């Protein structure tokens, strides 16, 4: 729903009760009629009619979550210190799919602070194989070591 994020005034306009519903529906039709599936547009109009259009991003997130759950799709984000090459990203995606038995939608993000390695952010857990994590673990062990 980046359109609404980029144009918060547009969302306010569509949620203004003093503007007739038909006019607000027309604005939605004009802005999204050719860009979204008719079912999505109808849903947006329904939310607009009920004064709950602000809930659209949450509805979209929940729909995506349920769709993924029903179709065995798992979103994974690989965090690395430098950009991953496409062939490495594909190998990682294939490996995660073979381990989980699910279709993986792999995205990547660069965080220089991890120094090296990779952290996998899965829906229910995080697998951290980064240099920064291992250095923190070594530091924790050394702090707890009595000499």
Q: What is the pLDDT of residues 42-96, one digit of tens each?
A: 999 999 999 899 999 899 999 999 999 999 999 999 999 999 999 999 999 999 9
Domains and CATH numbers, the chain: 2-66 (no CATH), 72-144 (3.40.30)
Angle at which helix 56-71 crosses helix 38-49, to 10 degrees, equals 140
Q: CB neighbours of 133 closer than 8 A, spacing ≥ 6?
A: 114, 117, 119
Q: What is the pLDDT of residues 102-131, one digit of tens each?
A: 999 999 999 999 999 999 999 899 999 999
pLDDT at 1 over 60: no
Which pLDDT does position 131 carry in this prediction?
96
pLDDT at 25 over 70: yes
pLDDT at 3 over 80: no
**CB atoms near residue 111 (< 10 Å):** 12
Are the C-beta atoms of 56 and 1 separated by less than 8 Å?
A: yes
Cα torsion angle, 83, 88, 93, 97, sign? negative
């Amino acid at each position: 729903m980046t359109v609404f994020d980029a144009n918060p005034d547009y969302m306010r306009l569509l949620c203004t009760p003093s503007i007739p519903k038909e006019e607000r529906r027309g604005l939605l039709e004009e802005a999204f009629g050719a860009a979204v599936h008719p079912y999505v547009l109808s849903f947006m109009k329904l939310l607009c009619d009920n004064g709950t259009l602000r809930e659209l991003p949450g509805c979209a997130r929940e729909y995506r979550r349920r769709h993924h759950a029903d179709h065995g799709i798992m979103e994974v984000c690989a965090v690395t210190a430098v950009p991953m090459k496409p062939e490495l990203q594909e190998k990682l995606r294939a490996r995660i799919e073979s381990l989980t038995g699910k279709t993986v939608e792999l995205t990547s993000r660069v965080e220089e602070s991890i120094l090296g390695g990779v952290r996998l952010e899965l829906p229910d857990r995080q697998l951290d194989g980064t240099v920064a994590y291992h250095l923190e673990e070594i530091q924790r062990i050394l702090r707890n070591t009595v000499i």
